[in-house]
Amino acid sequence: MQILRYGSSGSLVELLQLALNRYGASLVIDGVFGGATQRAVRAFQAANGLAADGVVGLRTHRALQPWYTGYRVHTIRPGDTLYRLAAQYGTTVRAVETANPGIDPLSLRVGQRITMPYGFAVVPGSVRVSSALVDFCLQGLRARYPFLGVGEFGRSVLGRPLWRARVGTGGNVVYYNASHHANEWITTLLLLRFLEALCAAAAREGGIGGRSAAELLRTATLYVAPAVNPDGIDLVTGALSQDFGTRRLAEDYPDIPYPAGWKANIRGVDLNLQYPAGWAQAREIKFAQGYTTPGPRDFVGEGPLTAPESLALYRDTLSLDPRLILAYHTQGRVIYWNYNNLAPEESLPIARQFAAVSGYTPELTPNESGHAGYKDWFIQDFRRPGFTIEAGEGENPLPLSQLEPIWRDNLGILVLGMVVTK
Ligand SMILES: [Zn+2]
């Protein structure tokens, strides 16, 4: 992660402030590295054997790792018991046992290394998304819940991993994704939070959204790609140290706010206009609207699947062969369920069930955005239920205050999606 110091700003500073607060500070999370943040960094450094210079470089980031990810590897010392350790970390014996399958609480060995989760949730609701946040969340979730699989399905233009998580063992394979569009990053938090809630419910043998988590995971194998466009997210939330030429591309579109209006990948290609389903029609429509060059949004690219992020998701979807997909976007509280009348018969009834649990409205995609999207391609080539869910209301990027209502509205859809096609 980049060096942060007095005067730095953006979502990485928010992440730093979150970590310092988890450690014990009480900073306002505003993404501005000012005097209070600098004092908190110095105090942290002094207490952790680091030079207290107030600059967050490699060593300080490394020392903060447990507070970014929510766990620490602890080496057992004489006198340690799981009960005492759990109390010390603000967690429960059960959470420690979940993170360390097969551990025998009655015969801890001195020198044995165990994963100690903290008591706070891994996925925050108070910081904007960055690719670093996604990395930390998945690392933290995998440590707490070893039954969660995490791997890469590709790399972004800037070489960032495109993560895909897997949970469950059932035959009903479903695949959810979020943040094709950079300034719709709040959907990444929605899917990460769902993963955490689902894993936590499974670990305590409890329920989620009115269903048994164990039953859900026996029925379905859920794959989640929480951030299809990590570079674009970093641009929008101020987590990049340079602009990689985006500012110049944005100059061709002076009416679109920069970088807040950026939806595309870092090369100015709209990742949800990249799929081989009416791509030429999408090109015609978008060119007529004036989106003829790489820019913040709506540029279809030089050809279908020319952006590595879309190509990677396309290939991953082919290899997983899911029974149902959900593609998360923001704006309008609607559910798009069809493409060119190719959706199977079960799609509309499922959209109606989603509507019943969310309050969202099933709709047909407006023609101007009716081609070359991920769900369009999925419906066309698989003839299975595929949905674009437009979550939340207001202008993108939606503020973090929308996360709670989006979570409440969508929990039912996320749970139902795992079982509705079984
Ligand atoms: Zn979108």
Residue 116's pLDDT is 98
pLDDT tens digits, 186-240: 999 999 999 999 999 999 999 999 999 999 999 999 999 999 999 999 999 999 9
Is 55 found in the same domain as 194?
Answer: no
Q: What CATH number is attached to the domain comprising 18?
A: 1.10.101.10
Average pLDDT over residues 93-110: 95
Please state, rounded to an integer, the average pLDDT across all residues of the chain.
Answer: 97
Catalytic center residues: 390
Q: Are residues 205 and 80 in the same domain?
A: no
CA-CA distance, 266 to 235, in Å (whole number)?
A: 8
Q: Are 270 and 263 in contact (CB under 8 A)?
A: yes
Check whether residue 309 and residue 414 sit in a common domain.
yes
Instruction: Render 166-224 in DSSP notation, one character per residue.
Output: EE---SEEEEEEE-SSGGGTHHHHHHHHHHHHHHHHHHTT-EETTEEHHHHHHHEEEEE
User: 180 CA distance to ligand 1 centroid (A)?
Assistant: 7
- Whole-number Å distance between alpha carbons of 265 and 309: 8
Give the whole-number percent of the chain exceeding pLDDT 70: 100
What is the domain range of residue 91?
71-117
SS3 call for 340: coil
Same domain, 152 and 267: yes
Residues 79 and 56 in one domain: no
Residues 43-74, buried b or exposed e (16+ Cβ, 10 A)?
bbbeeeebeeebbbeeebbebbbbbbbbbeeb
CA of 359 to the centre of ligand 1 (A): 19
Identify the residue whose tokens are 């690219």: 301
**37 and 97 share one domain:** no
- Which of helix, strand or coil describes residue 121? coil
pLDDT in tens, 390-422: 999 889 999 999 999 999 999 999 999 999 997
- Please tell me whether residues 246 and 210 are part of one structural domain: yes
d(CA 417, CA 127): 27
Instruction: Please check the confidence at residue 166 and state whether its pLDDT lies above 80.
Output: yes
For 251, which DSSP code?
T
The shares of helix, strand and coil residues in the chain, as percent rounded to the nearest 5, are: 40, 15, 45
Q: What are phi and psi of 51, to 5 degrees?
A: -60, 125
CATH of the domain at 82: 3.10.350.10
Report CA(138)–ligand 1 centroid distance (Å): 23
Distance 390 CA to ligand 1 centre (A): 7
Instruction: Give the DSSP letter of residue 271.
Output: G
Q: Is the peptide bond between 259 and the residue preceding it cis, with omega within 30 degrees of 0?
A: yes
- From the list 422, 360, 419, 421, the residue with the least C-alpha distance to 388 is 360
Do 131 and 18 lie in a common domain? no
Q: What is the pLDDT of residues 337-388, one digit of tens each?
A: 999 999 999 999 999 999 999 999 999 888 777 899 999 999 999 999 999 9
Contact 112, 76 (CB under 8 A): yes
Distance 181 CA to ligand 1 centre (A): 5
CA of 176 to the centre of ligand 1 (A): 14
Same structural domain, 204 and 279: yes
Across 274-296, average pLDDT: 97
Ligand 1 mean position to 398 CA, how many Å? 12
Which of 182-186, 275-279, 364-368 is predicted with the least confidence, judged by mean pLDDT? Answer: 364-368
262-to-15, 234, 246, 249, 267 alpha-carbon distances in Å: 21, 11, 9, 11, 11
* Same domain as 284, residue 397: yes
Distance between Cα 374 and ligand 1 center (Å): 11
Task: Give yes or no: residues 105 and 45 share one domain.
Answer: no
CATH code: domain of residue 199: 3.40.630.10
Residues 358 and 327 in one domain: yes
Tokens in use for 194? 């769902």
Phi, psi of 414 (to 5 degrees): -65, -40
Which pLDDT band holds residue 324 (cuts at 50, 70, 90)? very high
C-alpha of residue 413 to centroid of ligand 1, in Å: 18
pLDDT by residue (tens digit) across 130-139?
Answer: 999 999 999 9
Q: Kindly give the interhelix angle for 58-69 and 35-47, rounded to the nearest 10 degrees.
A: 90
pLDDT the model gives residue 331: 85
φ/ψ of 113, rounded to 5, equals -105, 130
φ, ψ (nearest 5 deg) of residue 367: -55, -35
By C-alpha distance, which of 335, 343, 282, 297 is closest to 180? Answer: 297
CA 330 to each of CA 181, 252, 263, 283: distance values in angstroms, whole numbers, following the listed order: 9, 25, 11, 22
The Cα–Cα gap between 5 and 394 comes to 33
Per the structure, the count of domains in the chain is: 3
- Checking 145-151 for CB contacts under 8 A at 24+ apart, the result is 145/98, 145/99, 145/199, 145/200, 145/202, 145/203, 146/98, 146/99, 146/101, 147/199, 147/202, 148/195, 148/199
